[in-house]
Amino acid sequence: MAGDQEFSEKAAELNETNHLFKFVDARLGVEGLPQSGTGQTALFTGKNAPKKIGKHFGPFPHSGIKPFLKDKSLFLKAKQQGNTCNFINAYPDIFFKKAQKRDRWSCTTLMTKSAGINLNTTQEVKEGKALTAELTQQAWRERLNINVPTILPEQAADRLLEQSEDYDLLLHEYYLTDKAGHSQEIEKATHFLETYDRFLWHLIRNKSRETTIVLSSDHGNVEDLSIKTHTLNSVPLFAYGPGANNFTDAQSILDITPDILETLNN
């Protein structure tokens, strides 16, 4: 992602043709540690969610910022521009039972539902159309006792590439690095990072020439295992493909949604 540089806080900004790498702000002018509820809302809407409610909040969206996800999200705006969208993550039956009982949805699932896009279930995983949280399906098979085969990260990447042919905008969320950061377990962090590294590298090497990959985060965490909490660090922004230069002026996670929409318009 960082070109020939080591991927660390010392890496310099990289802005070449079809390849951008830089760090962007996730604090958004609000005191305290960034959290997923406000951070993801800001990332997916371009609206300063923590400033709206006067604090960072998570992991679920605060009631004061849910309207952003329902009415001003990346998916909704992309659809209004005439683009087709999908969220490739899938959820097991137990997730839907708990979420519906409590009416408690994550930022990503609330955004998806509010845009009139169906959330993927076990059926889509079995059909090879969606991805489980850990990519390899191992946890679904071993912990949830769901009858799906274990796959390689590269096979998961191929599945995403296949599905991307049917949509203008395809979103994937990988949050296990956040769980590893909270655990402070180096073995767990290494495993989740290596899995995603294989997945992402396969996407980079095998994507179509017309496709732009955009990667960012709602907050820092796994980069500092000396603490259990999130960090105040800026987060990486990586864009690779013909739309990469649209992200040149991005300064914070608020700029991600507008720049993606600009890329879809070009």
User: What Rg do the C-alpha atoms of the chain give, in angstroms?
Assistant: 18
Inside any domain, residue 7: no
Inside any domain, residue 10: no
Inside any domain, residue 9: no
Inside any domain, residue 4: no
Inside any domain, residue 222: yes
Q: Determine the straight-line distance between the first and last CA of the chain, rounded to whole angstroms.
A: 23
Residues of the chain with pLDDT under 70: none
Inside any domain, residue 205: yes
CA distance 134 to 155: 13
Burial class (CB in 10 A: 0-12, 13-18, 19+), 199: buried
Inside any domain, residue 100: yes
Give residue 266's pLDDT.
84
Half-sphere exposure of 7 (CA within 13 A, CB side): 11
Give residue 45's pLDDT.
98
CATH of residue 160: 3.40.720.10
Inside any domain, residue 65: yes
Query: pTM value?
Result: 0.96
Average pLDDT, the chain: 97
How is residue 192 annotated by DSSP?
Answer: H
Give residue 195's pLDDT.
97
- The count of structural domains within the chain is 1
Closest by CA to 49, choosing from 119, 116, 96, 111, is 111
| Domain extent for 103 | 15-265
